[in-house]
Structure formats: C-alpha cells, structure tokens
Amino acid sequence: MSEASILQYDREPIAAIASGVERAAVAIIRISGDELLPLLAKIVRKKNSHWQARQFYLCRLVDGTDIIDTALVVYFAAPHSYTGQDVVEIHCHGGQYVPRRILALLHAHGIRAAVAGEFSKRAFLNGKLDLTAAEGIAQLSAAATEAQWRAAQSLAFGAFHQHIDALRAGLLQALSLLNALIDFPDEREAQTVQHQTIAQVLHEAQQQIDLLLASYQQGRIAKDGLRLALIGMPNVGKSSLLNALLGRERAIVSDQPGTTRDYLEDTLLIEGRLFKITDTAGIRSSDDDVEQHGVQKALALLTDCDLVCRLASAEAPQARPEATAARHIVEVINKCDLVEVQAPPQTLLISCKTGAGIGALRARLVAEFDGNTPAADSAFISCERHYHALQRAQTALLAAQRELGGEAYEECVAFEVQQALAAVEELLGKVSSDEILNNIFTQFCLGK
C-alpha cells in the first residue's frame, strides 16, 4: 500500500465494543482516530486533566449531568498504538445497557461506529501489521481448537513472515545479480559465475515455495478442520453413526432404505480436534430420481473430503460401495451386536446401538487428524490466498530457471523473477488491491 493511499484513508475517529456482546463483568470499548484527548475532556471526569500514555486512570464517564459509569480508561498516543493512531480503551462494567450507552455517547460526539476489521485495517495501512499478521489476528479471534490456534499464531506472531522475508530476500538477490549483468554487459568473464549463482538462488527459492505449497493440505485441515464423509450402502447405519459421534440425534434413523436422500453436515470436536462430518445418502441403484441425485452428491463428495469412513453391515460385510476417489479410507463394520464378524486388519467393528467400538473409532479419527496436520515447529500455509500467491511465484520461478538455462536474454529472466517477487510481496501486503483488503478485513469481528 502506497504512502499516498495511507494518507487518503479515512482517519476520522471510530469506536466499537471490542469485548463482544455477551454478559460479562467487564466490557471494553475501543476508540481510534486523530486527536482523541479533546474528546475525553468532554465525557471523562478524573482528578486532573493530564493524560500519561499507557497508564490506566479511574474515571467517571458522564453524559451531561448523568454519571453513566465508573471505568478504567487508558490512552495510547500515536504512533505507539495498535492502529498507529491515537487509541483510547474504556474498561467499563459489562452487561447490555452500560457499554451501549457509552457507545451512544461517543456517537453523539461525532465518533462513528467502526465496521468489522476496521481497527486492524488501519493498523495495516499505517505499517503496524503486515497482511499475514492481520490474517493471523482474525484467525486467533476465531480459533476454537489447538490446531486452529497453531495455524493462527504462525501468522499473527511473525513466524510465517520470517519465512516469506527470507524467500523475498533471495529473489531480490537474484534480481540484483541479473540487473548487474544487464547494466554491465561487457563483464563477460564473470557471466558464467554469475549465472551459476543466480541459478542456485532461484533453485533454493523454488524449494522453499515447493515445501510451503506441499504443506497447504495439512495447514488447511489445521485451520478449517478435517472433512470427514460417512458413506455406505443403505441401512448400514451411517445416520446412526453420525448421531453416536455427535452425542445427539442429528439425523433421522429408520429401517427404510433411502431415508437419507441428501447429505447432512455438522461439526464435531473429538479431544480438541475439529471435524466437519457429512452423512451421505445410501449408495445404491434406484429408480427414484431424488434418491439418485442424493447418491450422485455422495459420490461427488469423495473428491473433496479428507477422510472417508466407509461403513458396511455385519449382516453383509462385503457389501461396500467403491470409494476410489477418496484420499484415505477408514473401514468400519457396524451392527456387530447382531452378527459375529471376522474382520480384516485395520477394520473397526462397532455397534451404534450398544456403543461398542465407538471409542476406538473416535481414537482412530484423532490419530488420522494428527497425522494430517503440520508439526508444531514446521513452516506451513493454511490460507487459500497464500496458496494462490505462492503458485504464481512458483510458475514464474520455473519459467525464470528455464530461460536462464537456455539462450534467453537476462532481461527475460529478470522479468520472471520480478513476477515471482510481486506475488510474494502481494502475499505480505506490500502490493494489494482494495478488493483483496476488503475481502480480508470484512471477515474480522467488530472491535478488531
């Protein structure tokens, strides 16, 4: 984002409740903008008029003759604040009325309501955050599991930024070496050595990108959860298994084949691991157009899910649908309370009716999740935006290496390296369109 764009950005004061709307002992109202001290003089009463930055003051918040609340107020002077502007936080009593009354008072004094993500957007535009850190903050606010927290902290706390900075530094080095060859074409005795150095730098950059791209599948599971599909012939107990795993009746269970005609989706937490579980229609041939449409949807899901739980019944353990499109399959035989079955290794025997084997299945799902998420100390990507930016960088780097090894001019190689560099810098937010920024920051909660 250019300096001119930052200067054009709306700097009028904004305010929002930053602590959520749930009933709590304390609520936090955040304000950001230029010249906030004159505003405080209108609504705050304290022992003296002096404000020391980063120090809490016990104050009374007043609206005319009404004392709204006694609160702790802290002032952060620009540029040493989250947004880079003057920031004030009011820590008042929680509940429904008091925070909203204070917010209404601020609006009456000309401070408009902040939109979702506006505080973090100002922080980004004022150079307090890079774009990946801003995305990490949004993910931290939404994290419900340890895996989601790990994916978020890699972005929010700068670990991912360090990897991308190292990648960017390598591309800049290659570009400077290429520019030297372009600017001084007579130094041919050094050309071979320079080409070898450039080739090595580009190769190392490509390896870094390849590793990050390969990590996306695991990173996505850490951030969004593992997509699990339950498939099987009609009446093997898929809906019963969904209910058993969720611990509540989510799906209708019936002995009539074809009861589930469309897929059902829900989220499931097992020992802190997030699964997005789908119960599909029973897979069989049918003259019923609606049921057949459900079967086609079930088969299509196999290409998108991360794990398939393929159910059979102990009454017909060999009757199982094909699942060749699935990435990985866990074999399960249900209704083992009715018939004794000799199952192949790795096949789980369960009874949704009695609960037998459900604990072992849950443990297997946890193991599958852990085996498909990144190690705690590894570099990985979890955002689709990062994945596409790195894909563009990879394409440009491969083209640069081909041209460097052929007979292309150094200008052609430099162009491709510049394309790769632009993709990496877009990832960090050094070059970003308003559309990209709006898509990112509108996903934030209010007060962030």
Distance between CA atoms of residues 64 and 48, nearest Å: 19
Nearest residue to 298 via CA among 260, 249, 348: 260
Q: Which pLDDT band, with edges at 50, 70 and 90, does 8 fall under?
A: very low
DSSP letters, 383-394, are -HHHHHHHHHHH
Q: Give the tens place of pLDDT for each residue, 170-196.
A: 999 999 888 888 877 665 555 666 888
- Spatial CB neighbours of 129, under 8 Å, sequence gap ≥ 6: 120, 123, 137
- Residue 240 and residue 337 in one domain: yes
- Global pTM reads 0.79
Condensed to tens digits (0 to 9), the pLDDT of residues 316-340 reads 888 777 766 667 889 999 999 998 8
Q: Are residues 238 and 352 in the same domain?
A: yes
In terms of domains, do 85 and 173 share one?
no
208 and 176, same domain (yes or no): yes
Query: Which residue would you say has higher pLDDT here, 21 or 117?
Result: 117
> Per-residue b/e over 178-210, b at no fewer than 16 CB within 10 Å?
beebeeeeeeeeeeeeebeebbebbeebbebbe
| Token couple for 152 | 């978020």
Single residue among 335, 352, 370 that ends a domain in this structure: 370
Residue 146 lies in a domain: yes
Omega cis (within 30) before 79 = yes
**Same domain, residue pair 211 and 226:** no
Give the 3-state secondary structure of residue 166: helix
Total number of domains in the chain: 3
Predicted confidence (pLDDT) at residue 40 exceeds the cutoff of 50: yes
> Is 206 within a domain?
yes
Residue 446 within a domain = no
Considering the domain architecture, whether residues 154 and 245 belong to the same structural domain is answered as: no
Could you tell me the pLDDT band of residue 228, with boundaries at 50, 70 and 90? very high
CATH of the domain at 321: 3.40.50.300
Average pLDDT, the chain: 85
- For residue 256, tell me if it sits in a domain: yes
Please say whether the beta carbons of 448 and 18 come within 8 A. yes
Q: Identify the residue with better confidence: 376 or 17.
A: 17
Assess whether 108 and 23 both reside in one domain.
yes
Verify that 401 and 338 share a domain, yes or no: no
The domain boundary, picked from 109, 130, 151, lies at 130
Residues 112, 163 within the same domain: no
Is residue 440 one of the residues assigned to a domain? Answer: no
Q: Is 137 a domain residue?
A: no
Domain that residue 173 falls in: 142-215+379-428
Under the banding of pLDDT at 50, 70 and 90, the label for residue 20 is: confident
**H-helix or E-strand spanning residue 92:** strand 86-93
Q: Is 342 helix (H, G, I), strand (E, B) or coil?
A: coil
| 136 located within any domain | no
The last residue of one of the domains, among 68, 97, 130, is 130
Contact 145, 273 (CB under 8 A): yes
Scored b (16 or more CB within 10 A) or e, 109-141 reads eebeebebbbbbbbbbbbebbbbbbbbbbbbbb
Are 67 and 157 within one domain?
Answer: no
- Phi, psi at 76, each rounded to 5°: -115, 120
Token digits for 270?
Answer: 């097992």
Residues 22 and 122 in one domain: yes
Query: Which residue shows structure tokens 């369960």?
Result: 350
Same-domain check for residues 28 and 92: yes
Any domain includes 435:
no
376, 150 in Cβ contact below 8 A?
Answer: yes
